[in-house]
Amino acid sequence: MARTRKLVAALNRRGPHRVLRGDLAFAGLPGVVYTPASGLNLPAIAFGHDWLTVSTHYAGLLEHLASWGIVAAAPDTQRGIVPSVLNLAFDLGVALDIVTGVRLGPGEISVHPGKLGVVGHGFGGSAAVFAAAGMPARLKCAAVLFPTVTVPPAEQPAATLEVPGLIMSAPDDPKTLNSNALTLSGAWDAATLRIISKSEPGGLVEGRRLPKALGLAGSDRKTQRAVRALLTGYLLHTLGGDKTYRDFADADVQLPRTEPLDPESLSVTPEEKIVALLK
């Protein structure tokens, strides 16, 4: 634990790379891309946003990944009241096509086609599952951050996935009807479920959030710091092959800022969720 605690503390800080920001629209897809200032054959992820959220609300997270040498592309599509999880999943694949198909920045940045992953938050987390199921041979990992229920349900494609996965959930998620982190974990054999201590599922969104008037949670720095460190370590190992961070992808290792899995929480049924909410 002492070793991983030091690694988490280091990953909580900005990485060694200067970061550049670009526009995916030059290739016909609304969105942004963050890259290290230079580097060839880099790992890359496509990031899916939550419901009624835009990529600018994840700038800190995307910049953080890029500062550690990971190219991060985030489509700004499916932002309406009734978005399509399947269309966002498709756009995640398009974003990966873009970053692997062209030299980025001043021509000194390239992505390795064998070091790709998808990541998403909330609604975008479920979209990441659909994206992973649609291109399993291309991806080395997928990470879903506080995923939420969608139509169609993401559990169906999750059951087909063999790609390694990371699922982040909040301590109270078993009591919420909107979360599907536990059911995704049950369907996805190759995924590791991490309960992030004192986290808020909606807290990953940065800055002021207009949909807060609709009852959505606001920004939470503790959640953001924990996710940045744990996600970065996971991606550095699974995409970058850095064995220094192998514990971040080991389901048998409890990491700092996470809680042990509660067997009772894992067995909560939808009916019990409703009862808990009504109390």
Using the predicted structure, report yes or no on whether residue 274 has a pLDDT greater than 80. no
pLDDT digits (tens, 9 = 90+) for 17-33: 999 999 999 899 999 99
Among candidate residues 117, 116, 127, 142, the one with its CA nearest the CA of residue 53: 127
Whole-number Å distance between alpha carbons of 49 and 120: 6
pLDDT band at 261 (very low <50, low <70, confident <90, very high): confident
The domain locations on the chain are: 1-277
Ordered alpha helix ranges (H), the chain:
2-11, 59-67, 85-101, 123-134, 155-158, 181-187, 221-238, 263-266, 270-278
pLDDT digits (tens, 9 = 90+) for 159-174: 999 999 999 999 987 6
Using the predicted structure, report yes or no on whether residue 265 has a pLDDT greater than 90. no
pLDDT digits (tens, 9 = 90+) for 83-106: 999 999 999 999 999 999 987 877
Predicted confidence at residue 213, as pLDDT, reads: 52
Spacing of C-alpha 51 from chain mean position: 14
Using the predicted structure, report yes or no on whether residue 37 has a pLDDT greater than 70. yes
Among candidate residues 156, 88, 158, the one with its CA nearest the CA of residue 121: 88
For the domain made up of 1-277, the CATH class stated in words is alpha beta
Whole-number Å distance between alpha carbons of 237 and 240: 5
Burial 176-213 (b: 16+ CB within 10 A, else e): beebbbbbbbebbeebbbbbbeebbbbbbbbeebebee
Predicted confidence at residue 104, as pLDDT, reads: 82
Q: Do the Cβ atoms of 49 and 55 come closer than 8 Å? A: yes
The first and second tokens of residue 135, run together, are: 């291109």
Predicted confidence at residue 207, as pLDDT, reads: 82
> Would you say the pTM of this structure is higher than 0.75?
yes
Q: What is the mean pLDDT of residues 37-46?
A: 96
Predicted confidence at residue 264, as pLDDT, reads: 59
- 243: which DSSP letter? G
Burial 253-268 (b: 16+ CB within 10 A, else e): eebbbbbebeeebeeb
Length of the chain: 279
Mean pLDDT taken over the chain: 90
pLDDT digits (tens, 9 = 90+) for 176-223: 788 999 999 999 999 999 999 999 999 999 986 555 555 556 789 999
